Amino acid sequence: MQTIKSFTPATTVVLQWLVWRKYFDWRIWASLVPIVGGILLTSITELSFNMFGFCAALFGCLATSTKTILAESLLHGYKFDSINTVYYMAPFATMILAVPALLLEGSGVVEWFHTSPSLISSLVLIFGSGVMAFCLNFSIFYVIHSTTAVTFNVAGNLKVAVAVTCSWLIFRNPISALNAVGCAVTLVGCTFYGYVRHMLSQQPPGTPRTPRTPRNRLELLPLVIDKLDDKV
C-alpha cells in the first residue's frame, strides 16, 4: 500500500498537468524522483503482490490525488477556508461511505454494542474518533490552503520516512540497510522540493514559470480552451 501511495505526489502533478493544464517547473518534476524512489526503497522489502490489493491501492492513490486537487481549487480558486471546505465535503463523504459501512461493518458494530460492558464508553469511542477525523480533515485542508496539493502529498511521503526512522530510534524496530537508504533519499528529495518551492515563491507575480492554481469555475473544467481562458 505504501509503495503505491508513494506515487501520490507524482499522480497529483500529472493530473494537474494533463487535466487542469497547470504548469510545473522542471525542478518540481525532478524533486519527485527521489521522493517516490526513496519510499519505494523503504517499502519494497515488504512487498507482497496481490492484484486486487494493487488495484485497490492504485484507485485510492488516484482518488486521493483528485481530492487534494479539488480541495486546492476550492481553497485557492473560490477563497474557501478550512472550515467551509470540511462543511461542504463532509455530507458527500457521509453519503458515499454510509452504504458500504452498513453492509460491511453494520452487524459487527451492533454486536460490539451488545457485548460492550458500558454503552457510554462505546459512544465516547465513536464520538472521539469522529472528533479526531474532523481534526485530521481540518488540518489537511489547512495545509493545502497554506501551500498546494503537491506539497501536502510530498509531506505525506515524508511522514512515512519519519515513521520508519522513529520506529527504529524509539522502539528499536530493526530496519534493513535498504530501508535506511530509502528514508535518506526521501528526506533529501523532500528537502530539495522545499527549496524549489521557496525559490519559485521568490519570483515576481505573473512570472510564466510560477505554478498557477485555478482561480475560477472555468479553470476547474478539464481541457480548458486557451482563448476562453485568456478572456477570463
Q: Using CA atoms, how far apart are residues 130 and 109, in angstroms rounded to an integer?
A: 15
pLDDT in tens, the chain (232 residues): 766 777 778 888 888 888 777 777 788 888 888 877 777 776 666 656 677 887 888 888 888 888 888 888 878 777 788 888 888 888 888 898 889 888 988 888 888 877 877 778 878 888 999 899 999 888 888 888 887 777 787 777 777 777 777 888 888 777 777 777 877 787 778 778 777 777 777 776 555 444 454 555 544 444 444 444 444 4
Please report the pLDDT score of residue 147 as a whole number: 79
b/e code 78-87 from CB counts within 10 Å (16+ = b): eebebeebbe
Please report the pLDDT score of residue 32 as a whole number: 81
Q: Are 166 and 175 in contact (CB under 8 A)?
A: no
- Of 2, 3, 137, 8, which Cα lies nearest the Cα of 64? 8
Please report the pLDDT score of residue 116 as a whole number: 76
Measured in whole angstroms, the distance separating CA 12 from the mean position of its chain's CA atoms is: 9
Q: Are 47 and 3 in contact (CB under 8 A)?
A: yes
Please report the pLDDT score of residue 227 as a whole number: 41
What pTM did the predictor assign?
0.61
Please report the pLDDT score of residue 11 as a whole number: 81
Q: Is the dihedral of CA 82, 87, 91, 97 positive or negative?
A: positive
Please report the pLDDT score of residue 228 as a whole number: 43
Please report the pLDDT score of residue 47 as a whole number: 57
Phi and psi for 143 in degrees, rounded to 5?
Answer: -65, -45
Q: Using CA atoms, how far apart are residues 62 and 210, in angstroms rounded to an integer?
A: 25
